[in-house]
């Protein structure tokens, strides 16, 4: 057992507690000219090299992707990756990066492995028109059979939210503006992210015009793009982490929960119960209070998903997140005055501007918190009067069918 001081309190870190020692990613966007193996190779090898770890030092690999067998005709991905890395170690495939990360954490905690590569990749833009059906099946198969689209449930949730909380008149105008402000702020934050899919400013008026053009409550700029890309993290147990880096980041708590896949069958149509369960359990495991968290990577596949997720995670009062978003909107301000401390949300641009290559998205989120806590985030490094000690990563599968929350922290003397 090892004792590590976190936030002034002695926290017992077991020798086999999972710790991140390095990470890397590719640029997210349209990589028509690159094969998926080249993307994951770039992210994985960069992560290994940054910690001076050789491939032979790895005990196992956990990878994530949703659609490689469809988009790139890759069958048994584990064998494909074994050939790529020239390794014969155990490899497992999951859908989301957070799922791969959770499995890696479990294996390290169990004492099975000491050094693990966690990677995620997706190559979607080449066959975007071919996989819209598959995206819809991830969200709700019954809606798919009714002729729905991947965007439909987001709009249905917004309508249910407005009805449940009796938002009308001027309040409705403010809500619609707040959703647009979420998108605008993400684009502004991404201007400092060289790896982002989009590095361009947009305005509230641009978001509003797109909605009017499509005659829908949510328009083009309310949704994250389809992206290609890869991300990777190197996890070790706590006892060996300092042999690879002098600034390891500890995974203090992680949890997941599940809800019905059929959206209309759920008992809550204005939020995600899976997120509420996952954050409660992760905080309990980490022994961290919500107010201790300074940086949040929010899974905002749409602006309405971002809004309700702030409520589900507990940072905003149910039915009132749009008020907090609007009151905290300043173009050059990258934090929210919510709770007792400033909260920095999606400083890398979020899914909306950083991009959303499904299998790699959670890796980019975790990598951002990892770099921020180590004060290695470059031009977008968070600077404020308090201590940047804890961060939270939030990822969803489907339309809130599965939720993952991960609490990261650094020791006081790190």
Q: Which CATH architecture has domain 2-127+227-241?
A: 3-Layer(aba) Sandwich (3.40)
CA 39, CA 354: separation in Å to the nearest integer?
A: 16
What is the reported pLDDT for 331?
A: 63
What is the reported pLDDT for 148?
A: 79
CA 90, CA 85: separation in Å to the nearest integer?
A: 12
* Strand pairing class (2-6; 9-13): antiparallel
* Angle at the Cα of 349 from the Cα atoms of 368 and 124, rounded to 5 degrees: 90
What is the reported pLDDT for 7?
A: 47
What is the reported pLDDT for 129?
A: 74
Q: What is the pLDDT along the chain (414 residues), one digit of tens a residue?
A: 444 545 444 455 778 899 999 999 999 999 998 988 899 999 999 999 999 999 999 999 999 999 988 888 887 888 888 888 889 999 999 999 999 999 999 999 999 999 999 999 999 998 877 787 788 878 777 777 877 788 899 999 999 999 999 999 999 999 999 999 999 999 999 999 999 999 999 999 999 999 999 999 999 999 999 999 999 999 999 999 999 999 999 999 999 999 999 998 999 999 999 999 999 999 999 999 999 999 999 999 999 999 999 999 999 999 999 999 999 997 667 789 887 789 999 999 999 999 999 999 999 999 999 999 999 999 999 987 777 899 999 999 999 999 999 999 986 554
Neighbours of 15 (CB within 10 A): 11
Domain boundaries, the chain: 2-127+227-241
């Amino acid at each position: 057992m090892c004792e590590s001081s976190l936030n002034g309190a002695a926290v017992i870190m077991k020798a086999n507690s999972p710790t991140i020692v390095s990470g890397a990613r590719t640029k997210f966007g349209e990589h028509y000219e690159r094969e998926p193996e080249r993307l994951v190779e770039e992210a994985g090898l960069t992560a290994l090299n940054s910690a001076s770890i050789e491939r032979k030092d790895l005990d196992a690999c956990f990878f994530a992707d949703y659609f490689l067998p469809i988009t790139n005709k890759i069958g048994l991905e584990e064998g494909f990756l074994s050939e790529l890395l020239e390794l014969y170690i155990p490899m497992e495939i999951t859908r989301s990066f957070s799922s791969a990360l959770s499995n890696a954490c479990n294996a390290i905690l169990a004492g099975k492995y000491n050094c693990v590569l966690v990677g995620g990749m997706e190559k979607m833009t080449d066959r975007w028109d071919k996989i819209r059906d598959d995206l819809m099946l991830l969200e709700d198969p019954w809606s798919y059979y009714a002729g729905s689209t991947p965007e439909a449930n987001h709009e249905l949730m917004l309508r249910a939210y407005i009805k449940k909380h009796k938002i009308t008149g001027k309040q409705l105008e403010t809500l619609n503006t707040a959703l647009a402000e979420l998108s605008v702020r993400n684009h502004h934050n991404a201007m400092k992210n060289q790896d982002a899919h989009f590095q361009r400013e947009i305005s509230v008026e641009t978001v509003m015009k797109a909605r009017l053009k499509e005659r829908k409550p949510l328009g083009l700029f309310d949704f994250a793009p389809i992206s290609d890309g890869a991300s990777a993290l190197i996890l070790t147990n706590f006892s060996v982490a300092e042999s690879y880096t002098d600034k390891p980041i500890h995974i203090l708590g992680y949890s997941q929960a599940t809800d019905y896949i059929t959206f209309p069958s759920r008992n809550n149509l204005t939020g995600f119960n899976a997120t509420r369960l996952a954050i409660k359990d992760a905080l309990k495991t980490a022994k961290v209070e919500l107010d201790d968290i300074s940086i949040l990577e929010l899974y905002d596949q749409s602006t309405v998903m971002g809004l309700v997720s702030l409520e589900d995670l507990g940072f905003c009062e149910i039915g009132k997140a749009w008020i907090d978003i609007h009151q905290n909107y300043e173009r050059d301000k990258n934090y929210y005055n919510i709770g007792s401390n400033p909260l920095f949300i999606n400083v890398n641009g979020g899914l909306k501007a950083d991009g959303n290559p499904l299998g790699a998205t959670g890796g980019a989120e975790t990598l951002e918190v990892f770099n921020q806590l180590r004060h290695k985030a470059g031009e977008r490094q968070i600077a404020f009067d308090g201590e940047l000690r804890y961060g939270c990563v939030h990822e969803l599968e489907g339309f809130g069918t599965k939720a993952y929350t991960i609490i990261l922290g650094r020791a006081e003397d790190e």
